[in-house]
Amino acid sequence: MRTIVLILSCLLAALAGAQPIVPSPPQVAADAYILMDARTGVVIAEDNADMPLPPASLTKLMTSYVLANEISEGRVSRDDTVVISENAWSQNPLFTGSSLMWIEPGMEVSIADLERGIVIASGNDATVAVAEHIAGSEGAFAALMNRHSEELGLTGTHFVNSHGLPHPDHLTTARDLATLSAAIIERFPEHYSRYSERDYTFNNIRQYNRNRLLNEDPSVDGLKTGYTREAGYGLVASAKRGDMRLVSVVMGTRSTTVRKNETRGLLNYGFRFYETVPLLAAGAELDKPRIWKGAEDYVAVGVSEEVVLTLPRGKRQALQQQVALEETILAPLAAGDVVGQLTLLLDGEVQRQIPVVALQPVEAGGFLARLWDMVLMWIARLFGA
């Protein structure tokens, strides 16, 4: 492999003693927590993030994800009307003392209303109505939830119902909830906008979003609260400041005030001491090496997708990039063919490794051109060039 080292920028010797200091994350009074950059997936802080715990109404993040996906795929419309069953009735004894949208048997309710009933009012009755409409039964819908969990790589999650009321096998992790939330934000922006709505009125009953940070921090625009006696108080939140979006998850706190304050502390820590750094645009050229036996003598190589990192604030200038290309690049070559690797380092530690690809196709050269290149390659090997 041929290695080309490109130093993005070097720190001046005079600044060597003024390196930015990143303090340890704040102590969080929760059974588990995580703070993640939604764009890069980089985890800034965590504790017990892979511990399976009861999610309570945080379950509804997956219920609403499945609904948003069905709408995106065209199998369900927000204009669809759902006839409410006895099972989804707000007076179902299963729902006693829990969050409700207050729907009644025989009532015809639009998917748009049920969507808000799930996201804003956290209605357990609304989740059952949606589950039955999409999959025919709650059991079938739970199986669908678990299939989506597998597709998203949620390795610590298993759903038994659509609402999150306690069941010994109904569990998830802080890491999985952060991954799920980032997927909602990225894939379904129209659906995600529902999470920032402060209140919702249905059946002449006005209910308020329980995510109190929506009222206290203008950068917060989602996502979901949860509570059962078994789970404690949980909150999955997302906030955007400038070009950086963070997702935080706290599970198993002792009160609504604690979950709010701990979430605020995590978000403030992440925004204060870290930044999301776009380094290279998709299609950015890194080098133009020799290509042999081709119709062209040189080929532009670079990255096929945008390269973005999460870094401690003030460390961007210390970042280095190394491009290692194949010793001999031969035609024919299609655009996107891998010809090497880009390694990004910070203080000697690898941050990311990204394939380097051909940015343009190169066809095989004619017979004489290929023959001449074979001679040149033989001479190069002979003299160790």
- 156, amino acid identity: G
For residues 198-226, average pLDDT: 95
Q: Would you put residue 293 in left (φ > 0), alpha (ψ -120 to 50) or beta?
A: left
3-state secondary structure 159-228: CCCCCCCCCCCCEECHHHHHHHHHHHHHHCHHHHHHHHCCEEEECCEEEECCCCHHHHCCCEEEEEEEEE
Please report, for residues 161, 252, 304, 356, the alpha-carbon distance to residue 360 in angstroms, rounded to integers and kept in the order given.
Answer: 50, 52, 11, 12
> Which residue in 159, 186, 61, 74 sits closest to 118, CA to CA?
61
> 82 is written with which tokens?
């759902």
H or E element that contains 117? helix 111-119
Question: Which carries the bigger pLDDT value, residue 49 or residue 326?
Answer: 49
219 catalytic, yes or no?
no
Classified as helix, coil or strand, 288 is coil
For residues 236-260, average pLDDT: 97
For residues 245-262, average pLDDT: 98
Residues 61-99: tens digit of each pLDDT:
999 999 999 999 999 999 999 999 999 998 888 888 889
For residues 116-129, average pLDDT: 96
- 76, amino acid identity: V
Question: Which carries the bigger pLDDT value, residue 197 or residue 95?
Answer: 197
The one catalytic residue in 60, 224, 260, 293 is: 60
The one catalytic residue in 57, 98, 162, 248 is: 57
Q: Which domains does the chain have, with CATH numbers?
A: 32-274 (3.40.710.10), 281-382 (2.60.410.10)
Q: Is residue 328 predicted with pLDDT exceeding 90?
A: no
Handedness of CA 227, 232, 233, 235 (dihedral sign): negative
The pLDDT score that the predictor gives to residue 15 is 35
- What percent of the chain clears pLDDT 70, i.e. is strictly above it? 89
Residues 333-383: tens digit of each pLDDT:
999 999 999 999 998 889 999 999 999 998 876 666 665 656 666 666 766
Q: Is the bond preceding residue 376 a cis peptide, omega within 30 degrees?
A: no
Q: Is residue 126 predicted with pLDDT exceeding 90?
A: yes
293 catalytic, yes or no?
no
For residues 123-137, average pLDDT: 96
The one catalytic residue in 122, 162, 181, 238 is: 122
224 catalytic, yes or no?
no
> Which residue in 74, 170, 156, 169 sits closest to 127, CA to CA?
170
3-state secondary structure 321-343: EEEEECCCCECCECCCCEEEEEE
Residues 263-295: tens digit of each pLDDT:
999 999 999 999 999 999 999 999 999 887 778
Burial of 42 (0-12, 13-18, 19+ CB in 10 A): middle
Mean pLDDT of the residues in the chain = 90
